[in-house]
Structure 1
């Protein structure tokens, strides 16, 4: 694995597959222009945290091809440190993102057997020498194949044993594996997580849903209690346009979404996570972490792209101080 930034300690380390995303403005079947972007939940978070002023490293595997070079160039330009390996045989994964209607976006993956799916324990060992304060993992990497699954399991166990804060975002992708497969893999990982991040419909993948209640709030409370009882310090629940909540042993906090005009929801959850973890690195309390997460999520949904619209630290007050529909002059 090639280290582009040496082995200095970093605030946040994350690893996973980054792909080239080819975006269409309309139905793919009709043809038309495609724009080229970098896509990947982990690299989205890495860019978001780096833009907010923290030292960040991303570890992964790319093909020895132009797509891999594009990804590395883009991440370097965003100030993200790289711990990467280039695979001379396997290719960098590609995703087509179709804006089918104003309200429906569809992803089509061409990533089976990709270079990114070969991430290994050895890659993790090299990257972990940077002694991160936070290790951020997602269920996506665990879904890519047996080798990357073992890498995620090893990284979570090793980081927890070393006292590193382990952030685990469920990030379930139905095109990669079934809910049953995801549950089998993710349940054991939870015991290593300091912070568990999930959408409301993902909580059941990492806990046991009571069968005797139809009350959604009571259902969430029961699943969260189980997770806290298994050693998770914070359970963060992403609610989309309804905001987000956090459960800890000390109580529950809720934050509403920041009102903006939504034009692209892709990457919004990663943006929220980046804001939340950035505030944690800054020493903010739970309420402050939620507020920053809601703010970075608002930047994401009100701009196009997976990460392109994420704010720099100096821009955090922009949405709060600039009236909607105006131009700063």
Structure 2
């Protein structure tokens, strides 16, 4: 029995520190919301596996090797002979402004099937299943797979990060799909402008809690985050750190929150670990490279510029 299973798309990433059109050096890595969360959880000491499809190509092998090196279970990776591994490119045309270009249409990551998801869920027997709103937006097959695994997870705690991507689908299409997932969901992560995708209610948080969702976690960047449950509402301010790169901060937050959830920590501690993980992420370049280990978590409390000797 594993702690967490997450499903989704992971791509090979290319990152430059200036406008990509100028050429120059690029950093090669991997990127994907669900695998970012998986890496974050693994670094915090949890047994986590990622399910996804990649091409039977060198980029796909890079994804497998990186996840394996980070302690993420890769038994559920499928290597496609007919589809390619997707790419994502990041460049910075101005300080702290990141431009993202995708090369993913028709990639292996969009070919997930309900059958392979059901098999992985049964085999992994996770305590928690983590889903995002990105996976069902990739294709009809990936949407069916996401809905099927959520429905099958009747005895598993399910978390959903809305993670709306306007390049993948319209708000109307997203709302139609995501609302079908809600009966299976225990914890929702959403930004303030994503709540209307889940409900038309004037008070969306109250409406979501009334449906049986146990926690609604609302993130607001520099304003911090709020945890809403039947026990009440808690707010955690964002930690005062210098933002170098905000890409991946939401995934880092989720990994910290789910880590504390798995340890049955109270809501305040869950928010603290989540915002701490997010602070680590924004302090350096990369989607997941600066995510903290368990030993790292206290480092953020040191005064800025401290040298540990």
Question: Structures share a fold, TM > 0.5?
Answer: yes
What is aligned with 2:294?
Answer: 313
* Aligned counterpart for 1:43 among listed residues 35, 38, 42: 35
1:85 counterpart (78, 96, 109): 78
What corresponds to 1:115 in structure 2? 108
Q: 1-side partners of 2:167 and 2:24: how far apart?
A: 25
Deviations 1:46-72 (A, max 9, x none): 000000001000011000000000000
What secondary structure sits across from 2:165 in the alignment? coil
**Can you give the 5+ residue segments of structure 2 that lack an aligned partner in the other structure?**
none
Distance 1:202 1:140 in 2: 13
Aligned to 1:4: none
Give the distance between the partners of 2:199 and 2:227, measured in 1 at CA: 16
Runs of 4+ in 1 over 2 A off after TM superposition: none
Q: 2:118–2:148: 8 Å Cα contact kept in structure 1?
A: no
**Residue by residue, what CA displacement relative to the aligned partner does 1:19-60 show, whole Å, maximum 9, x if unpaired?**
001011111222222111110000000000000001000011
Q: How far apart in 2 are the matches of 1:317 and 1:204?
A: 36
3-state DSSP class of the match of 1:189? helix
Q: Secondary structure at the match of 2:286?
A: coil
SS of 2:300's partner is helix
Which sits farther off after the overlay, 201-210 or 34-43?
A: 201-210
**Superposed counterparts of 1:249-268, under 5 Å:** 249-268=230-249
Aligned to 2:124: 130
SS in 2 for 1:81: coil
Aligned to 2:214: 233
Match of 1:194 in 2: 186
Query: Considering only aligned residues, what root-mean-square deviation do their CA atoms show, in Å?
Result: 0.9
The reply to whether residue 145 of structure 1 matches residue 125 of structure 2 is no
Corresponding position: 1:100 with 2:80? no
Three-state SS of the structure 2 residue aligned to 1:168 is: strand
Q: Secondary structure at the match of 1:197?
A: strand
Number of residue pairs the alignment of both structures matches: 307
Q: Distance in 1 between matches of 2:93 and 2:140?
A: 33
2:196 corresponds in structure 1 to 204
| 1:103, distance to aligned residue in structure 2 (A) | 2.8
What's the secondary structure of 2:291's corresponding residue?
A: coil
Match of 2:255 in 1: 274
* In structure 2, distance between residues paired with 1:167 and 1:34: 34
TM-score, with length taken from structure 1: 0.92
> Residue in 2 aligned with 1:14?
6
Moved more, 292-301 or 201-210: 201-210
What residue in structure 2 maps to residue 245 of structure 1?
A: 226
List gaps (5 residues or longer) in structure 1: 1-8, 211-221
Is residue 4–residue 129 contact of structure 2 (8 Å, CA) maintained in 1?
yes
Taking the aligned partners of 1:35 and 1:279, their CA distance within structure 2 comes to 32
Corresponding residue for 2:273? 292
Give me the whole-angstrom Cα distance separating, in 2, the residues matched to 1:279 and 1:150: 30
Q: Are the equivalent residues in 1 in contact too, given 2:118–2:152 (CA < 8 A)? A: no
Of the three residues 162, 173, 181, the one matched with 2:173 is 181
Q: Determine the structure 2 residue equivalent to 1:73.
A: 65
Deviates most, 95-104 or 191-200: 95-104
Write out aligned runs for 1:203-222 (5 A).
203-210=195-202, 222=203
Whether contact under 8 Å (2:201, 2:207) holds in the other structure is no
Q: Deviations over 1:207-233 (max 9, x none)?
A: 1153xxxxxxxxxxx100111111111
Deviation at 1:100, TM superposition (A): 1.6
Match of 1:5 in 2: none
**How far, CA to CA, are the matches of 1:89 and 1:197 in structure 2?**
34
